[in-house]
Amino acid sequence: MNIHIILFDGFDELDAIAPYEVLKRANEITEQFRVSLVSLNDCIEVSGFYGLKVKVDTTVSTNITPDIVIIPGGGWNHRGERGARVEANRGKLPKLIKQFYEQGSIIAGVCTGGMLMAVAGITKGRTATMHHLAAEEMSSFGCEVIGARVVDDQDIITARGVTSGVDLALWLIERFSGADVALAVEKRLEYERRGTVWNRPTKSH
């Protein structure tokens, strides 16, 4: 599976790095996940909200349709000069999210990365979760916000808060590689998954 984690100026470091490491560790068991850090703009290094500088693998391109696109949050509730809210107002990232979604990518948001998905218009009428400081704002975009740790609404996946990026990645491993692989990764991390994964059953035909 081809997974892109899109980084923008002011992204929350843990939102992006946590799922990156967890998914990379899964490849110690199954070589199923090709994970790339991708910059929103044409640059090779992106600065996180707390100052971490990350060298990316490539620049985002809609000519390639990843199986999964992971969107971190960062700075949404701070209302500063950079971060997710700034990118929402600029419009480029929400437009890309919508385009990837329409091209068939599963879109997964960590913390207020889900707000960028909402601004993109892809969560309307769906079920999602959100950091408690932005839950009311998230619901104003027409989605049902519930208190689960991770919400899997088939092609729309959201994770509640900053540390839930670990749980999101473990759920992706379970969904696509099986519970045994997810448990093995969990044990290697010395981590115990938290909260509930709300999962919409796949419709039968």
pLDDT tens digit string along 97-142?
999 999 999 999 999 999 999 999 999 999 999 999 999 999 999 9
What is the model's pTM? 0.97
Q: What is the pLDDT of residue 109?
A: 98
CA dihedral 154, 155, 156, 157 (to 10 degrees): 60
Query: For residue 204, is pLDDT > 60?
Result: no
Q: What is the pLDDT of residue 117?
A: 98
Nearest to 5 by CA among 188, 169, 204, 194: 169
Which three-class secondary structure string do you get for 90-154?
Answer: HCHHHHHHHHHHHCCCEEEEECCHHHHHHHCCCCCCCEECCCCCCHHHHHCCCCEECCCCEEEEC
CATH no. for 2-125+162-194: 3.40.50.880
Domain limits of the chain? 2-125+162-194
Query: Rounded to 5 degrees, what are φ and ψ at 66?
Result: -65, 160
What average pLDDT does the structure give for the chain?
Answer: 96
Q: What is the pLDDT of residue 80?
A: 87
- Cβ(171)–Cβ(152) below 8 Å: yes
Q: What is the pLDDT of residue 201?
A: 77
CA angle 43, 24, 157 (to 5 degrees): 80
